[in-house]
């Protein structure tokens, strides 16, 4: 909890290092939820299994509605959208509370992971309840939908979290049941790829993007290749201002101007921020603040009561991997879930063998 406060204080310091105070104040405002982490954490403490079951159900239903509407929109215009995916274009999120596709995919991934953990924890006590089976349905649907919507950031984050989830199950399940889990680990992603043409096209587009990066071709209009250029640009800016950063309110303009030195061939409209939270924080507030961000994210890897809290590690893994492709603390639609799901993970007791399926 102290890490959140120290991190925010370093951000406040970089306000005074900014020339554009209005922009710096806007960024400070959208990151205020970081200061609410202790309140969220202590609010989670008294919650029981049934409360988490209800909470996971509400969250997954709130995500299910825009997801199914967006999937229906995709299927209604499948040929058009499949072609747009091959051009690095995202599928639009309909009825999605004004949240962009990458941000929505991170939310969807967090909701799915939360639902999976709650289903496992409640398996023996709630497997015959209507709430339990409703959550099974919603988590299964959302898992399918995130593959159809095929936003790479949410998907890689989800599989990072699920990877930790599977490790926790392998550590708690009886030996005979681990073979079924290992089989599912292979079969389920394979089926998602085989039956989702949007995901197949996203993979093809990703391969094409990677080839542009590896062969150092013109990055314009290639999503991942432009992101790599943005990372290189951010690293160059950090090297010039490693301790204090360039200032919270000036980062965007400094990054834009620096492209003329790093890669002048990149079109002005493609000169973006790095969409990598560690790099973005280092540009704004310096490397110390960026490493404090890592402390917050990797808090879950510290043992509590001589046991690892796999739920917290899973959320940390999901959010960190997602933050490598999206600046998760630069919009409130990501800051709030960041605080909420880390608090949920931290409030959980480490899973024991008797709680396993």
Domain chopping of the chain, boundaries: 2-355
Q: What is the mean pLDDT of residues 300-314?
A: 72
Q: Quick check: 144 pLDDT over 50?
A: yes
| Residue 90 contacts residue 74 (beta carbons within 8 Å) | no
pLDDT band at residue 181 using 50, 70 and 90 as cut-offs: confident
Q: What is the mean pLDDT of residues 183-188?
A: 89
Predicted confidence at residue 184, as pLDDT, reads 86
pLDDT band at residue 104 using 50, 70 and 90 as cut-offs: very high
pLDDT single digits (tens) 260-291: 999 899 999 899 899 999 999 999 999 999 99
Looking at 83-97, 101-115, 249-263, 324-338, which range is the least confident one? 83-97
pLDDT single digits (tens) 56-79: 999 999 999 999 999 999 999 999
- Structure tokens given for 233: 């640009």
pLDDT single digits (tens) 228-239: 999 999 999 999
Averaged pLDDT of the chain = 88
> Which of 302 and 32 is assigned the larger pLDDT?
32
Q: What is the mean pLDDT of residues 96-115?
A: 90
Q: Quick check: 330 pLDDT over 70?
A: yes
Which residues lie closer than 8 Å to 349 by C-beta, 6 or more apart?
A: 309
Predicted confidence at residue 105, as pLDDT, reads 94
Q: What is the mean pLDDT of residues 307-334?
A: 88
Looking at 100-109, 153-162, 283-292, 293-302, which range is the least confident one? 293-302
Q: How far apart are CA 343 and CA 348, in angstroms?
A: 9
Count of Cβ atoms closer than 10 Å to residue 152 Cβ: 21
Predicted confidence at residue 354, as pLDDT, reads 47
């Amino acid at each position: 909890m102290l890490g959140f406060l120290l991190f925010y204080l370093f951000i406040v310091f970089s306000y005074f290092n900014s020339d554009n105070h209005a922009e710096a104040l806007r960024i400070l405002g959208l990151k205020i939820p970081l200061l609410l982490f202790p309140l969220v954490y202590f609010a989670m403490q008294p919650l029981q299994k049934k409360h988490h079951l209800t909470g996971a159900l509400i969250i997954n239903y709130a995500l299910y509605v825009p997801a199914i509407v967006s999937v229906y929109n995709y299927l209604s215009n499948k040929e058009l959208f499949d072609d747009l995916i091959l051009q690095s274009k995202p599928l639009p999120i309909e009825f999605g509370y004004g949240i962009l596709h990458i941000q929505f995919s991170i939310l969807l991934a967090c909701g799915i992971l939360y639902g999976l953990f709650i289903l496992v924890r409640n398996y023996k006590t709630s497997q015959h309840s209507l709430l339990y089976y409703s959550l099974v349905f919603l988590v299964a649907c959302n898992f399918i939908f995130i593959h159809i919507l095929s936003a790479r950031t949410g998907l890689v984050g989800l599989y990072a979290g699920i990877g930790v989830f599977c490790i926790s199950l392998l550590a708690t399940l009886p030996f005979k049941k681990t073979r079924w889990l290992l089989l599912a680990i292979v079969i389920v992603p394979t089926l998602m790829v085989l039956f989702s043409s949007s995901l197949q096209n996203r993979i093809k587009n990703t391969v094409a993007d990677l080839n542009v990066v590896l062969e150092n071709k013109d990055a314009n209009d290639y999503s991942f290749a432009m992101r790599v250029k943005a990372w290189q640009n951010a690293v160059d800016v950090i090297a010039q201002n490693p301790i204090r950063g360039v200032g919270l309110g000036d980062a965007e303009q400094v990054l834009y101007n620096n492209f003329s030195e790093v890669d002048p061939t990149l079109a002005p409209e493609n000169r973006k921020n790095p969409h990598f939270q560690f790099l973005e924080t280092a540009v704004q507030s310096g490397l110390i603040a960026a490493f404090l961000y890592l402390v917050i994210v990797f808090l879950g890897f510290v043992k509590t009561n001589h046991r690892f809290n796999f739920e917290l590690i899973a959320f940390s893994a999901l959010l960190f991997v997602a933050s490598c492709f999206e600046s998760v603390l630069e919009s409130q639609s990501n800051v709030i879930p960041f605080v909420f799901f880390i608090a949920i993970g931290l409030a959980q007791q480490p899973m024991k063998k008797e709680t396993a399926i």
